[in-house]
Amino acid sequence: MPSFNDIIFIVFLKKQRKGYPADDYPLLRKCNYIDAVSSNSVENFKANIALIPKPTATEKTLGIIIIAVMFIPFAFGIFTANKWLLLSLPAGFLLGFIFNLFSKGKFNHKNWIQKDFFVEFTLNGINISSSTTQKEFLWSEMEGTQLYVEGFDGEVKADKEESGNYSGTENKLVFNAHNVTYEFNFYIENAERKAALKSFLKNETLNAVNTHLTFKDKRGVYSEAINSFKDVPEEPEPQSWKKSKKSIGCLVLFATPFVLIGLGTFGLSLYQFGKVIQAEEWLPVRARILTVDMAYSSDSDATKVKAQYEYNVGSKTFRGSTVSFNAGMNNIENYGELYHTLNQSKAIQIYVNENDPAESVIIRGVTNAMIGVLIFSVMWNTLLLAFALPMLSKKITVRSMLFITVVVWILGIGKLVSGIGNIDIAQQVFVIEAKEEQE
């Protein structure tokens, strides 16, 4: 466990070195923070000190490599229908987990919070303390004091230029005392603790002259002398925050292609499953196979079976070419077996729309490719909702949506890669008459 002098020394180093040396990283550990209600009043405010590490050049490089390993092969696998490349996403998560283990979790903000070291704001000054030691700085002997109150853990950022949530460790105190510059962060757990700090800062007997305060909340940003904060009137919280037209335009421009992909795949999936349901009522008709071919993609291993057949409805003869309700090529279906079945068939049973006899299909049921489109649509749209819903509703957090997204993606990729429950589409072809061997 770090000593009291270690904490003071690291606080001093943060200003001088813009971060912590590698040898000090063991000081960052998982802990429980102090109780918010019992430790605070309008006459004082006590908070855990937070030691925030800075990534080394090696760690930055490894982080970029992990992100590249996760998303570049995955995106290429989506567009080329190569299911093995989809494994890059869970592989990236595994590498991230291993990276977190080797870095001892120092990039988890909960591990920055020091269990036994606190900063206490009083009416007379600042106390940096542990369970056994204390160092006091009076407001009167502190110079160039800057107090930044950003947000509590989980608070949504209200800045137009930023999005996301605060970790609660962004709050900072900077001051000079006895020719030494001190700079350190402190942790605010929740909205009640932030309100307690605000009450303390409004105490009329607070003797914090020459202290500059920056206080952020949903009402805006206050940046002025701390003594003037006592006279700032309380205003009702705005019902909603509005972004500038420029920022909204940029957001819409950026999000449009992603939303179109989500809506397009979801619409395609609805159409395909709708046709399957509709085809359940279609009329079974005998058809004569005319041609069967296998189409290959030029830039991937995706394939597709093409077939032409002829059939009669009443006194009219029709030709059809719809094998199934799949759209485009893929490498999910066992098209080799389907090609062999159709190529060895002389007559098969097809299904014809009685209301439009020119519309027909060989395989009227659900296929693996249709399930794949649906899974991809759910995965993609879940990711979009993970960013959109927290912006639309304060009750929905980014953290909960990201958890749901990770679960959906793991299940979806697991299904696509493992092939569990795959359908043999060749078995859905009803052969009425096979070709003779000499044919």
- Alpha helices in 163-280, H assignment, sequence order: 191-201, 245-279
Element (H, E) at 12: helix 4-17
Which token pair is 423? 């359908």
Most confident of 194-208, 360-374, 414-428: 360-374
Gap between the Cα atoms of 371 and 302, Å rounded: 16
Gap between the Cα atoms of 352 and 286, Å rounded: 10
Percent of the chain whose pLDDT exceeds 90: 30
Closest-CA residue to 426 (of 367, 360, 356): 367
Gap between the Cα atoms of 416 and 439, Å rounded: 38
The mean pLDDT value for 19-46 works out to 48
Q: How confident is the model at residue 10 (pLDDT cuts 50, 70, 90)?
A: very low
Higher-confidence position of 100 and 12 = 100
394, pLDDT greater than 50: yes
Gap between the Cα atoms of 96 and 66, Å rounded: 7
Q: Pick left, alpha or beta for residue 223 (phi over 0 → left; psi -120 to 50 → alpha; otherwise beta).
A: beta
236, pLDDT greater than 70: no
The mean pLDDT value for 279-300 works out to 91
Gap between the Cα atoms of 286 and 85, Å rounded: 41
Among 2-16, 73-87, 399-413, 420-434, name the one with the lowest average pLDDT: 2-16
Pairing of strands 171-177, 360-361: unpaired
Per-residue model confidence as pLDDT tens digits over 317-341: 999 999 999 877 887 888 999 999 9
Task: Report the b/e string of 290-329 with b at 16+ CB within 10 A.
Answer: eebeeeeeeebebbbbebebebeeeeeebebebbbbbeeb
The mean pLDDT value for 83-104 works out to 77
Phi/psi at 179 (nearest 5 deg)? Answer: 65, 20
| 45 neighbors 119 (Cβ within 8 angstroms) | no
Q: What is the pLDDT of residue 25?
A: 37
Q: Which amino acid is at 169?
A: T
| 302 neighbors 331 (Cβ within 8 angstroms) | yes
Cα torsion angle, 137, 7, 10, 32, sign = negative
Gap between the Cα atoms of 224 and 78, Å rounded: 52
35, pLDDT greater than 50: no
* pTM of this structure: 0.53
Most confident of 230-239, 337-346, 377-386, 395-404: 337-346
Q: What is the pLDDT of residue 210?
A: 83
Which token pair is 253? 């421009």
Going from N- to C-terminal start, the domains of the chain cover: 4-53+106-231, 57-102, 280-367+423-434
Higher-confidence position of 237 and 405 = 405
Gap between the Cα atoms of 126 and 142, Å rounded: 9
Among 13-22, 164-173, 347-356, name the one with the lowest average pLDDT: 13-22
